[in-house]
Amino acid sequence: MPRGSWSFLHEWVIYDYIMARFSEKTLRLKLRISEGKVQRREKWVTVIKLKPITGTKFPDIKSIKVKGSSSDVPAEIKFTTSLFDYHVKQSSKFKDFIEKKGFIIVLSHDYLPSGLMNYKIDVYEIDQVDFVSFCRENFVRLLNRQIRRHTETKVWIMYQGPNFNEKTKSIKPARDSGIWCPTENLSSFDLAMGDRVLFIKTRGASTQKVQKSFLKNTISQDWFLEEIFVGELLDTILSREEYCQIKKIDLNAKLWKKDEKRNGNWRWNRVFEFKHIKTIIKDIKMEYLYENKKTINFVKAVTEAFCYGKSREVSLQEYRDLLEFFV
């Protein structure tokens, strides 16, 4: 691919690639410039430690460590090395970056800007072949995220469950703490800042009874909707380890009352933060909502979340129809 043809991409795609490969423990970087000297021999290093990328302020990565290094350092991500021009402004952040021996991570190394060689800064390149594979594998989600980033948010249905409402003396319920974990491994492609989550509470019918009726294209007459708690994501979804690291929480600490480990690993291993937008409290039969054209898909999504323990997405129009129905 010719130099410069990456310009149609946004840097967050590289962020996603880096975080995805690090979580898989397969992230590696190729050293191109070492202490201001061009490396003629190909040298790859594995990333063994990485603080989550949570923003675009310089530097992008607050702390990263590669195998063979004695300490964690900051790093800045660019498409090409020539785009790194922070030294021109001589800001305090740049001086701190140099003092901490920060380095540059690029998709494609071209050349160091004039004067930067004097700082003996290191430059690493990501695996371009692997990056292309990543983009191809995730093309639809990447495209959807890019479109959604400028036009609309996603709306998810999640069933409340015990952790949403139950508490201990030291652990708040999710409705108060503002943190939650979906029952499956949704990623930042699926859940991002500004997305809405409708936490649903129902009563009157067991999972088995609701599931049996749903398979027959009907809804149990004993099943009632009690509450819709509307939350808005404050950031993208993170791994539990990343979240605890950012919030300075002991990784062994429980986040919810019924938090549990399985074979030494936390069952709920993804975390996102949300703020409360509104609460809709209604005592209404789900059967009635199922018979209404504007709310039938909402009921189907709630049923699947209730019976199968999975988050379900509804369209923005279906969300608007739901709000209008309860006005």
> Using one digit for the tens of pLDDT, what is the confidence trace for 225-277?
999 999 999 887 887 887 888 888 998 999 999 998 888 878 888 899 999 99
If we measure between CA atoms, which residue out of 195, 216, 230 comes closest to residue 290? 216
The tens digit of pLDDT for each residue in 87-134 reads 766 678 899 999 999 999 999 888 788 778 888 899 999 999 999 888
The tens digit of pLDDT for each residue in 265-287 reads 788 888 999 999 999 998 899 99
Given 3.10.590.10, 3.20.20.70, 2.102.10.10, 3.40.50.720, which CATH number is that of 152-326? 3.10.590.10
- Mean pLDDT, the chain, as a whole number? 86
pLDDT on residue 3: 36
Distance CA 46, CA 167 (A): 41
pLDDT on residue 300: 93
pLDDT on residue 141: 64
Global pTM reads 0.58
| CA dihedral sign of residues 105, 108, 109, 110 | negative
pLDDT band at residue 47 under the 50/70/90 scheme: very high
Residue count of the chain, please give it.
Answer: 327
In sequence order, the β-bridge partners of residue 159 are 200
In terms of pLDDT, which residue wins out, 194 or 165? 165
What is the share, in percent, of the chain residues with pLDDT greater than 70? 90
Distance CA 190, CA 145 (A): 8
In terms of pLDDT, which residue wins out, 55 or 138? 138
pLDDT band at residue 150 under the 50/70/90 scheme: very low
Beta strands in the chain (DSSP E): 28-34, 37-38, 44-50, 61-66, 73-80, 103-108, 123-126, 155-159, 179-180, 196-203, 224-233, 238-239, 261-262, 265-266, 270-285, 312-314
Chain-centroid distance, C-alpha 273: 10
**HSE-CB of 101 using CA atoms within 13 angstroms:** 10
3-state secondary structure (DSSP) of residue 198? strand
End-to-end CA, the chain: 54
Cβ neighbours around 239 below 10 Å, total: 17
DSSP-derived secondary structure letter, 157: E
Range from 9-23, 126-140, 193-207 carrying the lowest mean pLDDT: 9-23
Given a contact cutoff of 8 angstroms between Cβ atoms, the answer to whether 44 and 25 are in contact is no
pLDDT on residue 191: 79
Based on C-alpha coordinates, what's the Rg of the chain?
A: 24
pLDDT at 8 over 50: no
pLDDT at 2 over 60: no
Given a contact cutoff of 8 angstroms between Cβ atoms, the answer to whether 58 and 78 are in contact is no
pLDDT band at residue 144 under the 50/70/90 scheme: low
pLDDT at 15 over 80: yes
Domain with CATH 3.10.590.10 in the chain: 152-326
| Contacts by 128-131, CB closer than 8 A, 24 or more apart | 128/1, 130/21, 131/14, 131/17, 131/107
